[in-house]
Amino acid sequence: MRPRARAWRCGPPPAGVRDFHAALPGYTPTPLTELSPLADELGAGRVFVKDESSRLGLPAFKALGASWAVHRTLAERAASGAGPGPVVLVTATDGNHGRAVARTARLLGQHAHVFVPRGVHARAVAAIAAENAEVTEVPGPYDEAVRRAAEAAAAPDSVLVQDTAWPGYERIPGWIVEGYSTLCAEIDEQLAAAGAAEGPDLVSIPVGVGSLAQAVVTHYRSRPSGHAPALLSVEPRSAACVLESLTRGEPVTVTGGDTTMAGLNCGTPSSIAWPYLHGGLDAAVAVPDADSAHAAARLAALGVSSGPCGAAALAGLRAVLTGEGGEERRTALGLDGSSVVVLLSTEGRDANPHSVTHH
């Protein structure tokens, strides 16, 4: 728990991102679904789930970042006088980001080369290959796949489109984060339409390297005044790099294990995300796989398709608000029976074949 985060402020995201997405074929805002039974369970006023199970034709939110970053990258190459020939867009992925880059490349007549770490389901790998991408499977963790992708992108007419940053590689990951701002802008409009124009009192965010969380912090902490929600990050217990980094007060790398929350199985926070996570997150929690599976089943019963990563938002909030110390944590987050809560369900069940659960 971090009591000063709601007073932290940063600059706003750039204008124009939402207009870019709105002009893409197949763009429509994803649903913000109110689930009254969850409000009763969690002791909140209203609970909404941002359902990213179908975003620009893919079963996760990642296309927002990939499409904007590739657009900016290709525009810059053209402006610099680079040849008109196709480029190879290189990336590493736990699944959804790589597929989004591959889809964007295919739609724009470019090539894609995607590096996949161990532990990504064969069906997720096949979905990337089906976008006409070259796929290289890496017998190591996510951070190793990122290293391999960065090496491959040094080839001529290749560019790395990675959704994590490190010192010296920050511009393109920054564009990916900007792309995610569209999701937050939609939530503002959808809450206003639902009679909650004040905005949320808490947003629960699944976190891998922290790029989506950086976008959410930027959105809510760039307002000079007015209502500031509490922001909660949720990670798998086996890969809680942000929780560990916040605990220590500096970015650290953790050695991850296996988790069904494949898209969150990251060992190192993104370097550009870290200042935002450190400044703007009110709370961080890590949950076991069983909790995320249970949350996915609950969401499915309420009509929302959510994979293990997406359902982590509910699993994490449940962990924070219940059990020993739950009442104190609820008070510290400023939550009561009238609070408006938004859960970011970042992927549908189709995004992650692990998520077929049996009860």
Report the pLDDT value the prediction gives residue 253, as an integer from 0 to 100. Answer: 82
Report the pLDDT value the prediction gives residue 358, as an integer from 0 to 100. Answer: 33
* Cβ neighbours of residue 346 closer than 8 Å, sequence gap 6 or more: 52, 60, 61, 96, 206, 212, 263, 309, 310, 313
Report the pLDDT value the prediction gives residue 290, as an integer from 0 to 100. Answer: 93
**Which ranges in 43-82 belong to alpha helices (H)?**
63-79
Report the pLDDT value the prediction gives residue 352, as an integer from 0 to 100. Answer: 67
Catalytic residue among 50, 51, 62, 282: 62
Report the pLDDT value the prediction gives residue 359, as an integer from 0 to 100. Answer: 31
Does the annotation count 50 as an active-site position?
A: no
Report the pLDDT value the prediction gives residue 263, as an integer from 0 to 100. Answer: 64
- pLDDT averaged per 10 residues in sequence order, the chain, 359 residues: 91 95 95 97 97 94 95 92 87 90 94 93 92 96 93 95 92 96 97 96 94 96 89 91 93 81 76 96 94 95 94 96 93 96 92 49
Burial of 118 (0-12, 13-18, 19+ CB in 10 A): middle
The 3-state DSSP class for residue 231 equals: strand
Does the annotation count 62 as an active-site position?
A: yes
Report the pLDDT value the prediction gives residue 353, as an integer from 0 to 100. Answer: 62
Residue 64 tokens, joined: 């927002």
Residue 157 tokens, joined: 């007419």
Catalytic residue among 50, 51, 94, 291: 94
Report the pLDDT value the prediction gives residue 212, as an integer from 0 to 100. Answer: 95
